[in-house]
């Protein structure tokens, strides 16, 4: 299941890029869909090794893509990691919402909604596994994933704007004006990291705590303070 061939995709085709993207997202989340990871706290070492190898292969493919091609979304040059992270969060949210929808259907049918069936995988365990994977290796998109849950996201495929793939060498002149600001880590029209942006620096003004701002005229003269300290010592 987890073994990938040595073939490196061409990537210049949008279809082939998304084939690799969907496969990569599923591999990253695959432990949540594999009952062997639920049977014991320590799943078989060979299965864990296969997943690890498959993930490394997928990330290598994404890296190769980033060195050869540029992604343009809505007229903006965006890092490939944005596409990967967005698809990962949206796929995870769709899987969780789909699982919960099945539970709701079972409840309406008066059946045991969270017995886990023959495999013993309950919805709560599935959600926990999905979220553990995201928190461990993609914590930066967890807030976005959480927002998708609230919005009942249900799409397992890319729902973003049409993706344009341009070779870094051949057609770079055609997008040169877009490259002046470099690749953006987030898309202006649909941010996925905005919940993790650094907050504005906290004000160093403590006057609200004191009730008013201290003026220099009210500050003690340093020399007077030193004199008072000396008098106390005497």
DSSP notation for 125-142: HHHHHHHHHHHHH-GGGH
d(CA 25, CA 3): 15
d(CA 90, CA 26): 12
pLDDT at 218 over 60: no
Nearest-Å Rg of the Cα atoms of the chain is 27
pLDDT at 203 over 60: no
d(CA 139, CA 144): 10
Q: What is the dihedral of CA 75, 170, 183, 144, to 10 degrees?
A: 70
In terms of pLDDT, which residue wins out, 17 or 230? 17
Give domain status of residue 119, yes or no: yes
Domain residues for the domain of 101 are: 14-196
Give domain status of residue 202, yes or no: no
Give domain status of residue 217, yes or no: no
pLDDT at 87 over 50: yes
Give domain status of residue 214, yes or no: no
* Total domains in the fold of the chain: 1
The pLDDT confidence band at residue 175, using thresholds 50, 70 and 90, is: low
Give residues with Cβ within 8 angstroms of 195, minimum separation 6: 143, 144, 147
The pLDDT confidence band at residue 223, using thresholds 50, 70 and 90, is: very low
Give domain status of residue 161, yes or no: yes
d(CA 69, CA 67): 6
Give domain status of residue 213, yes or no: no
Helices (H) and strands (E) counted in the chain, each on its own, are: 7, 3
What is the structure's pLDDT at 210?
Answer: 32
Give domain status of residue 204, yes or no: no
Q: Which two tokens stand for residue 145?
A: 């994933």
């Amino acid at each position: 299941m987890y073994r990938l061939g040595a073939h490196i995709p061409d990537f210049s085709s949008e279809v082939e890029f998304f084939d690799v993207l969907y496969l990569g997202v599923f591999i990253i989340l695959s432990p949540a869909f594999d009952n062997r990871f639920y049977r014991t706290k320590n799943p078989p070492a060979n299965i864990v090794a296969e997943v690890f190898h498959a993930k490394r292969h997928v990330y290598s493919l994404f890296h190769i893509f980033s060195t050869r091609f540029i992604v343009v979304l809505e007229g903006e040059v965006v890092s490939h990691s944005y596409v990967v992270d967005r698809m990962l969060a949206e796929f995870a949210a769709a899987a969780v919402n789909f699982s919960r929808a099945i539970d709701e259907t079972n409840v309406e049918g008066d059946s045991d909604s969270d017995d886990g069936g023959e495999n013993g995988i309950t919805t709560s365990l599935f959600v926990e596994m999905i979220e553990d994977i995201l928190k461990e290796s993609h914590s930066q998109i967890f807030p976005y994933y959480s927002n998708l849950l609230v919005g009942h996201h249900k799409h397992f495929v890319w729902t973003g704007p049409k993706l344009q793939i341009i070779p870094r060498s051949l057609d770079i002149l055609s997008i040169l004006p877009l490259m002046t600001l470099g690749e953006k880590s987030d898309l202006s029209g649909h941010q996925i990291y905005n919940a993790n942006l650094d907050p504005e620096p906290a004000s160093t003004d403590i006057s609200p705590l004191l009730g008013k701002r201290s003026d220099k005229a009210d500050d003690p003269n340093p020399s007077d303070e030193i004199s008072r300290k000396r008098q106390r010592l005497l």
